[in-house]
Amino acid sequence: MDRSQGNLPGQIVGRIRDDIASGVLRPGDRIASTRTMAAELGVSRATVVAAYEQLEGEGYVETSPAGTWVHPAMRAVLAGAAEEVPRTLPPEQRRAPRIDLRPGHPDTSVLASTTWRAAWRQAAAEPPSYVPREGIPRLRELVADHIRRARGVAVDPRRVFITAGSRHGVSALVAALGQNVTVGVEDPTYPSLVGVVRRGGHSVVTDWTSANAVLVTPSHQFPHGHVMPAPERIELVDWARTHNTLVIEDDFDAELRFQGEPLPSLMAISPEVASIGSFAKTLSPALGLGYVVVPPSLIDALRPHLAPVSGLAQVALANFMAEDGLSRHITRMRSAYRRRRDIALEIFGSRAVPMDGGLNLIVELSSVGEEESVLARAAARGMAVRGFSTYWSSPASRAGIVVGLGGGTEKQLGRWMTQLRELLPR
């Protein structure tokens, strides 16, 4: 409701008229009660009553002691005015891939664990009455403690903010720097993060000379899995300090390393590094939770660009982490993904690029033409995979298939990868 425009009943009338005309509300559909509508819009009940009375007088709705409905006679009025609006999506938009080998999809078996279910039951029994935009304090503290134990960096929980995931974190951090920000990215990189930056009205470059911020994945460069050596990390942080450039570290798959301990986070080198993390890969994308750790100098600038995310999910995750469920799950997942990686290496042989961690693997091809041909044949068989060339900002210098390791059981994954191998050129 736009209170500056006045005539609140008229605004409600206009909105309901539009919903009826567009098919959002259909003849015979029930409309929210005056009490419910008033609560949803933040207006007095008398305002809604006045609007409903006007709509009834105009013939749009009919009322009774049992409630208010769109007048059935509107069916004839609307029949010639607009096409019938479908109630369901087309079949092609409802159909999931028969075989899902897309990268970034984790094994979600944790969602069936006793600890995970108990965490949600407890959260549902005591849902939060208020969710601050910074995140629930208990979860912020637990995330800070998790970073300390998993990444070897002591982080003040006042620098930790809960987000809806990596994209939300990147969007908020870049917005905190101002308007028309230039963000340097790696090549190749994750297309969805590039899209988030551009949709915010900012520029994306692979030449970092003029960048106000750089987005890097030093612990597991996506998608080829390279690890930035320690000397290069120090050099990057020194360069950023000299050029007044914010380093945004995406700690992508850092905890899912198969061999040895992950190198320390860039935050261990400098507190002026910002870091983003997500629970989408370690738990499930459906959870919709992540975090950012920001330099002290950016805390106040970041706050206006945050938004509350599901309080119930935050409490459930906090309960899970408090019982050490997350760290135990990550330990199990390292072993599980190592086995899945080994299955893929055995099936694809020398064509597969070995990875020391993460949720995906690259199968190399000789040209973009070969890549497009394999993708087309895979799609025809209901198989979802991604082309390596699509992750490059510049014309692709390498082609291949990026295969996710998280789908199905280990036996299913082996069968699916064998089917994919049969589609590769000889």
Inform me whether the pLDDT recorded for 111 exceeds 80: no
pLDDT higher than 60, residue 181? yes
**Prediction pTM value:** 0.77
Structure confidence at residue 393 as a pLDDT band (50, 70, 90): confident
> What is the CATH number assigned to the segment(s) 119-323?
3.40.640.10
277 vs 59 pLDDT, higher one = 277
How many CA atoms within 13 Å lie on the side-chain side of 104?
15
State the pLDDT confidence band at 28, using cuts at 50, 70 and 90: confident
Give tens-digit pLDDT for 6-22: 678 888 888 888 888 87
- 95 Cβ contact list (under 8 Å, min separation 6): none
Instruction: Please write the tens of the pLDDT for every residue from 345-381.
Output: 999 999 998 777 778 889 999 999 999 999 999 999 9
The domain segmentation of the chain, as residue ranges, is 3-79, 99-105+328-421, 119-323
More confident position, 408 or 295:
295
Residue 49: predicted pLDDT: 85
How high is the pLDDT of residue 262?
A: 62
User: Are 99-105+328-421 and 119-323 equal in CATH topology?
Assistant: no
Whether residue 238 is predicted with pLDDT greater than 60 in this model: the reply is: yes
Calculate the alpha carbon distances from 385 to 187, 281, 299, 355, 403 in Å: 20, 17, 39, 18, 6
**Band of pLDDT at residue 294, cut at 50, 70 and 90:** very high
Q: What is the pLDDT of residue 85?
A: 59
* Percent of the chain surpassing pLDDT 70: 90
Percent share of the chain, pLDDT over 90: 45
- The pLDDT score that the predictor gives to residue 83 is 53
Task: Using the Cα atoms of residue 221, residue 224, residue 229 and residue 231 in order, give the sign of their dihedral.
Answer: negative
Average pLDDT of the segment spanning 81-96: 65
CATH code matching the domain that covers 3-79, chosen among 1.10.10.10, 1.20.1740.10, 3.30.300.130, 3.30.1390.10 = 1.10.10.10
Residue pLDDT, tens place only, 133-145: 999 999 999 999 9
- The domain defined by 99-105+328-421 folds into Aspartate Aminotransferase, domain 1 (3.90.1150)
